[in-house]
């Protein structure tokens, strides 16, 4: 196989496969776990050469039974930030990644893997620096721990290894993610079911719905993955837009895009709130001390590596995503 995509039936992985197809590439091994069978829908319009279950794949890696690919995109992981089974997370996210990385180093295969903004925790300084990294949950810790392995090995690598710290990714092919799907995804479902969307009341010094995240469309995430495929430069890179935008921005864009589909006029945020199209609910106790109320990727290192493309704003990307979802129902 020319390329391997782990987590290939998942959100980012399936978009990764589709983007390779757009380049004319289909000699791809997709690796995933289809116990959650509905993920197959993410692949129905993708072309690839073979599929392996993630357990069989890593055993073949450890037995050195696989031919050498041109590159590996390691998108597979448990990304549930509310998961509390630390043994599972460390085996599934950390040990699995480590085994695959060691194989890539032996075989001299470029290794592009998913890290996460969850490595940072409550910092206000989102630069790729150990001093800024204090993850709030075991998911973030599992990603953080492998990033430290790469840092220690940086001067002795036999092949490029690129860690991409994904911020708040949204877009097509995420319907299987349940509670971990994007805010935009849930807002579309809420508005279509109840005629309104729900946001948290003010917290952490922010007004209602004004908590801010660096929301990035999956197309931009995949574009950066392919950029590093073409220009493999070892390192750990933030992958956000460099812009923090509010949850209110997401909500009003979803509301107005769905209204536009019914030929209804655009509303400003205040009017949408007054008409109870956006509702603020109490901040949950379960998230206190575990919630990033602000994230904004510092992308200086990504830009310095040569990635200069403009990334979508929340307004652009969310409207595009909502229209994509509406088209699926046609």
Which residues are designated catalytic?
139, 177
Rounded to whole angstroms, the Cα distance separating 112 from 102 reads 13
CB contact set of 24 (below 8 Å; sequence gap of 6+) = none
Rounded to whole angstroms, the Cα distance separating 217 from 303 reads 18
The answer to whether the CB of 312 falls within 8 A of the CB of 169 is no
Query: What is the Cα 80 distance to its own chain's centre?
Result: 11
Beta bridge partners of 71: 3
Q: Kindly provide the b/e burial profile for residues 45-73, where b requires at least 16 CB atoms within 10 angstroms of the residue's own CB.
A: ebebeebbebeebbeebeeeeeeebebbb
Using only the alpha carbons of the chain, give its radius of gyration: 20
Beta bridge partners of 166: 116, 239
């Amino acid at each position: 196989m020319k390329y391997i995509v782990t987590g290939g039936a998942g959100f980012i992985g399936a978009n990764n496969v589709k983007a390779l197809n757009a380049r004319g590439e289909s000699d791809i091994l997709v690796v995933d776990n289809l116990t959650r069978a509905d993920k197959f829908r993410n692949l129905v319009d993708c072309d690839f050469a073979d599929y392996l279950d993630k357990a069989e794949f890593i055993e073949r890696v450890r037995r050195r039974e696989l031919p050498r690919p041109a590159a590996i995109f390691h998108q597979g992981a448990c990304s549930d930030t509310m998961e509390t089974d630390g043994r599972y997370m460390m085996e599934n996210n950390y040990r699995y990644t480590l085994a695959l990385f060691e194989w890539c180093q032996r075989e001299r295969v470029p290794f592009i893997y998913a890290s996460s903004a969850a490595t940072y925790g409550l910092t206000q300084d989102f630069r790729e620096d150990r001093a800024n990294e204090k993850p709030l949950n075991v998911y973030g810790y599992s990603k953080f721990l492998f990033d430290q392995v790469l840092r220690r090995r940086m001067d002795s690598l036999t092949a490029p290894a690129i860690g991409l710290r994904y911020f708040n990714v949204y877009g097509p092919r995420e319907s299987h993610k349940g509670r971990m799907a994007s805010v935009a995804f849930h807002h579309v479902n809420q508005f279509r079911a109840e005629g309104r969307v729900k946001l948290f009341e003010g917290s952490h010094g922010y007004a209602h719905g004004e908590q801010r995240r660096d929301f990035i469309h999956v197309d931009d995430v995949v574009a950066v993955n392919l950029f590093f495929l073409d220009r493999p430069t070892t390192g750990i890179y933030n992958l956000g837009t460099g812009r923090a935008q509010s949850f209110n921005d997401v909500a009003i864009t979803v509301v107005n895009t769905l209204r536009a589909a019914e030929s209804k006029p655009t509303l400003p945020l205040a009017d949408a709130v007054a008409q109870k199209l956006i509702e603020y609910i109490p901040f949950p106790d379960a998230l206190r001390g575990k919630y990033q109320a602000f994230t904004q990727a510092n992308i200086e290192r990504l830009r310095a590596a040569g990635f200069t493309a403009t990334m979508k704003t929340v307004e652009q990307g969310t409207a595009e995503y909502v229209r994509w979802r509406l088209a699926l129902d046609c």
